[in-house]
Each structure stands twice: as structure tokens, then as C-alpha cells.
Structure 1
């Protein structure tokens, strides 16, 4: 029984992470970003490392996704994105979970 509960819990916790990657694909985030390497923009693992432990990281990055910005990772600007605030927060939460272990 414990094994069955472990499998159910693992499935429940894995689904949101997968859904966030799907959202990143749907919103074309992966056209400029990758999880583990720099493309046009920084790797998501690098973003997660840079903002690890910052209490305002979710709000700061949510606004950056919505409004765009430049200067934090070089001169290439990130354009504003057509996402809701809830979608942006979902993406940020996923990105911050990708910190290398």
C-alpha cells in the first residue's frame, strides 16, 4: 500500500512541472530559453540559481515576463509576453524549481 501511495504522490507532484513546461512551449518561451543552456536568453537553470533564496523573486520575474526588460542578462532585451499574471507566476515557479542540485 505504501508503494501505491508513493506512486500516486509522485504522479501528482510531477504533473504540475510537466504542465509548466507545456505552458512554456505554448507561450513560445522555449524559442529563446532552454532549461540547461543559453540560447538568446539565459538558461532557466541559471535564472533559478541567480534568484534562489530571494523573497521577491516570484513577483519580480512575473513582472519581467509580463512587461519584458533588459540589462539583467546582457544587452538583448526580452519583449513583453502575452501571458496572464497567473500564467507568468506558474512559469516563474517552474523556472525557479529548475535550480541545479
Structure 2
């Protein structure tokens, strides 16, 4: 009787092992489950984006640009969306650009190419977007007018 009791307890304890695991479904393979997919590493902390700067209304920008003696093509071509004559916006103030490049003999060529093809790194992390729709002569005339700002 003692042997029967030990046998029943052994079978009962073995039967109780693994009750928390799911029994395999009918037709399921008995291959071991694959490990859970690795989680992607957390992205590096990036600085918070700068607050968006609302563009000046075209009428307001037109008056400011005209008062500075700049051609209206800077308004028609949307330069006012990123640049102001005196204040910082998304891009640098046009007077500051003029002050930096005025004495550079290659400034007109460099800046014309930057307007047409885009670029970055001079004024911080915000790049100058490309404006391939502009005619090179028109872009050159805009740059020449900007460089005449005091």
C-alpha cells in the first residue's frame, strides 16, 4: 500500500508540473517557440524642434522689402516665407547675409547657386531649400540686390 501511495503521489506531482504552460494545439509542431523579437533600440534624444515661425503676410512683407529697396521678385518668389530684412526667421535676416558676404568677390555666384540648388551649414541646422523653378538670372539679380543692403 505504501508503494501505491508513493506511485500515485509521484504521478500526481509530475502531472502538476507545467500546468502553467499552454498545451500544444492539435496539428501544431512540437518545435521550440522562437524567442520574442528584439526591441529596436530607443532613438537618440533629439533636441525639441524649434517653434514654427509664421510667415509674414505678403502685404506686410512687401512693404518691408520695398522700404529696404529690394525688388518685388523676393515677395513673388516667396523669400519672405523664411527671410525678413532685419529680423531672424527660419532663415537669416537679409541684412546679416549682406553684411557677411558683401566683401566676398564670389558671393553672387555662391549665393545664386545656394538659392537654386539649396544648401546648409552656414546659418545653423536649417538648410536653404532649393528653388530650381527660378531662372538663374533672376536669382542672381535678387542676390545682387540683397548684397546692396546696408
TM-score (ref. length: structure 2) = 0.52
Q: Distance in 2 between matches of 1:34 and 1:97?
A: 15
- Does structure 1 residue 51 correspond to structure 2 residue 101? yes
TM-score by length of 1: 0.77
Q: Which has the higher contact order (CA 8 A, sep 6+)?
A: 1
Paired residues of 2:83 and 2:92 also in contact (CA < 8 A): yes
RMSD: 1.4
How does 1:1-101 map onto structure 2 within 5 Å? Answer: 17-18=69-70, 20=71, 22-81=72-131, 82-99=133-150
Structure 1 runs of 4+ with >3 Å offset: none
**Considering only CA atoms, is the larger Rg found in Structure 1 or Structure 2?**
2
Unaligned runs of 5+ in 2: 1-65
Tell me how many residue pairs correspond in the alignment.
82
Aligned-pair CA distance for 1:52: 1.6
Unpaired runs of 5+ residues, structure 1, are 1-13
CA distance in 2, matches of 1:49, 1:78: 18
